[in-house]
Structure 1
Amino acid sequence: MARRPRHLSAEDKALWKKVADSTERMHAARPLVELPAANSPLTKKPQPKACHPAFQVGQNTKPNALPHDLAPSLSNSVASQPVSMDRKTFGKMKKGRLSPESRIDLHGMTIAQAHPVLIRFILDAAAADRRLVLVITGKGKHRDDGGPIPVRHGVLRHQVPHWLNTMPLKQYVLQITEAHLKHGGQGAYYVYLRRRR
Structure 2
Amino acid sequence: MASERQTKERKLSTDERILWGKVAKSTRPMPGRLADIEAFDEVLAAEARAEETARAEKEKASAASVDPQIPPPPAKQSSGAHHPLERPVKRKIAKGRLALEARIDLHGLIQSEAHAMLLDFLLRAHQRGLRHVLVITGKGSSMGSEGALKRAVPMWFSKPEFRFLISSYETAAQHHGGDGALYIRLSRLKGERL
TM-score (norm 1): 0.50
**Structure 1's 108 and 86: CA in aligned 2 closer, same or farther, altered over 3 A?**
closer
Q: What is the distance in 1 between the residues matched to 2:140 and 2:86?
A: 31
Does 2:168 correspond to 1:159?
Answer: no
Structure 2 gaps of 5+ residues are: 1-80
Contact 1:133 1:192 in 2 (8 A): yes
Q: Mapping of 1:115-130 within 5 angstroms?
A: 115-130=115-130
SS at match of 2:162: coil
Name the amino acid aligned to 1:121: F
Q: What is the distance in 1 between the residues matched to 2:171 and 2:84?
A: 15
Q: What is the distance in 2 between the residues matched to 1:140 and 1:90?
A: 23
Q: CA RMSD in A?
A: 2.3
SS at match of 2:163: coil
Contact 2:139 2:150 in 1 (8 A): yes
Q: What is the distance in 2 between the residues matched to 1:122 and 1:82?
A: 15
| Structure 1 residue aligned with 2:134 | 134
Structure 1 gaps of 5+ residues are: 1-80, 145-151
Structure with greater helix share of residues: 2
Does 2:180 correspond to 1:187?
Answer: yes
Deviation, structure 1 residue 88 = 3.5
| Range moving further from structure 2, 169-178 or 96-105 | 96-105
Does 2:100 correspond to 1:107?
Answer: no
Deviation, structure 1 residue 108 = 0.7
Q: What is the distance in 1 between the residues matched to 2:140 and 2:97?
A: 26
SS at match of 1:135: strand
Q: What is the distance in 2 between the residues matched to 1:137 and 1:177?
A: 13
TM-score (norm 2): 0.50
